[in-house]
Amino acid sequence: MAGIHITDIEAAINFWRERKPSTDGITLAAEIRDLAEVYALMIYYREDEADERSFPPRALAAWKTWYDTTPDTPCIAICSTSQGDAMCKGCGRSFEEVQHWPEMTPAAKRQTWRRITLSSEAWRFNRYSERAAEGPPSAAPNFR
């Protein structure tokens, strides 16, 4: 199973802080407490990833709610793996990652996103960054 990176847990905590701010400046929403427990243990043990199988169910549910607000795929509709490249020049994913993306777990997808973002070599991060920012293309018009 894939690991969930500490930066994703931080992002999920911040998501919940915006969604459910403290009313008194002290009390935290249940989702934040659940994620903070995992985060604190990672800090204590100096780990930067937590196995998604070891996540407490409520913390995993809170993380997945945040995950559902992130872009699903790094694809920018310029796929060089269809032309035989081992790594897509458009999005930075490997041929296997492109082929198996629908079956990958959310944590595995986030690991891939982290790798391609850190390398920032794919076109989505330079020449076609504006295309990636626009999101997926809208449905093609019907020319009947």
142 in a structural domain: no
The answer to whether residues 51 and 99 belong to one domain is no
Domain stops at, among 20, 40, 67: 67
- Give the phi and the psi of residue 87 in degrees, each rounded to 5: -120, 135
Measured from the Cβ of residue 136, the count of other Cβ atoms closer than 10 Å reads 12
pTM flag (> 0.85): no
144 in a structural domain: no
53 in a structural domain: yes
Cα–Cα distance measured from residue 120 to residue 131, given in angstroms and rounded to the nearest whole number:
15
The answer to whether residues 62 and 89 belong to one domain is no
pLDDT of residue 68: 97
Domain stops at, among 67, 101, 120: 67
Cα–Cα distance measured from residue 50 to residue 71, given in angstroms and rounded to the nearest whole number:
21
139 in a structural domain: no
pLDDT of residue 138: 57
Query: What are the per-10-residue average pLDDT scores of the chain (144 residues)?
Result: 92 98 95 97 96 94 97 91 91 95 96 94 78 58 50
Cα–Cα distance measured from residue 63 to residue 34, given in angstroms and rounded to the nearest whole number:
9
Cα–Cα distance measured from residue 28 to residue 133, given in angstroms and rounded to the nearest whole number:
33
Based on the structure, what is the number of domains in the chain? 2
109 in a structural domain: yes
Q: Which domain holds residue 97?
A: 81-134
The answer to whether residues 7 and 60 belong to one domain is yes
